[in-house]
Amino acid sequence: MQTLPSRVGSLQRGQHLHFASQPYYDDVEEDDVVSDIQLHAERIRRERMERRAQQQQAEAALTKGDDVPLVGNLIGEDHVNYVLMYNMLTGIRIGVSRCQAKIKRPLTDEDFTSARHKYSFDVVGNELTPSAKYDFKFKDYAPWVFRSLREDHFLLDPADYLLSLTSKYILSELGSPGKSGSFFYFSRDYRFIIKTIRHSEHKFLLRILKQYYNHVKDNPQTLLSRFYGLHRVKLPHGRKIHFVIMNNLFPPHKDIHETYDLKGSTVGREYPEELKKDKNNAVLKDLNWINRAHMLELGPEKRALLTEQLRRDTELLKSVRVMDYSLLVGIHKMERGNRDNVRRNTLKVFEPDVEMPHGRHRRRPTITSGRRYNFSPEAIAMRRAMRESEPKEGAVQLPEKDTGDRQHFLFYQDEGGLRATGDGNEFLDTIYYLGVIDILTPYTLLKKVEHCWKGMQADRHKISPVPPEEYGDRFFAFMRAIMRGGGGGESFK
Residue pLDDT tens, the chain, 493 long: 444 444 434 444 444 444 444 444 445 455 666 677 777 778 777 877 776 666 555 545 443 433 433 333 434 555 556 777 778 888 888 888 888 888 999 999 999 988 888 887 766 666 566 666 667 788 999 999 999 999 999 999 888 888 887 655 555 544 444 445 566 777 777 888 888 899 999 999 999 999 999 999 999 999 999 999 999 998 877 778 899 999 988 888 888 999 999 999 999 899 998 887 767 678 899 999 999 999 999 999 999 999 999 999 999 999 999 999 999 999 999 999 888 777 665 554 444 333 333 333 333 333 333 434 444 444 444 444 444 433 334 444 556 666 667 778 999 999 899 999 999 989 999 999 999 999 999 998 988 888 888 888 888 888 889 999 999 999 999 999 999 988 888 888 8
Q: What are phi and psi of 155, to 5 degrees?
A: 60, 40
CA distances, 330 to each of 170, 249, 251 (Å): 20, 8, 10
Which residues make beta-bridge pairs with 141?
116, 230
Classify 485 in phi/psi space as left (phi over 0), alpha (psi -120 to 50) or beta: left
pTM of the model: 0.73
Cβ–Cβ under 8 Å, residues 290 and 225? no
Cβ–Cβ under 8 Å, residues 257 and 174? no
Q: What is the pLDDT of residue 459?
A: 83
Helix (H, G, I), strand (E, B) or coil at 240: strand
**Which residues are CB-neighbours of 62 under 8 A, at least 6 positions away?**
70, 80, 81, 84, 235, 238, 239, 241
CA atoms within 13 A on the CB side of 67: 6
Cβ–Cβ under 8 Å, residues 107 and 145? yes
Q: Taking the CB of residue 312, how many other CB atoms lie within 10 A of it?
A: 15
Q: What is the pLDDT of residue 51?
A: 66
Q: What is the pLDDT of residue 383?
A: 44
Q: What is the pLDDT of residue 65?
A: 39
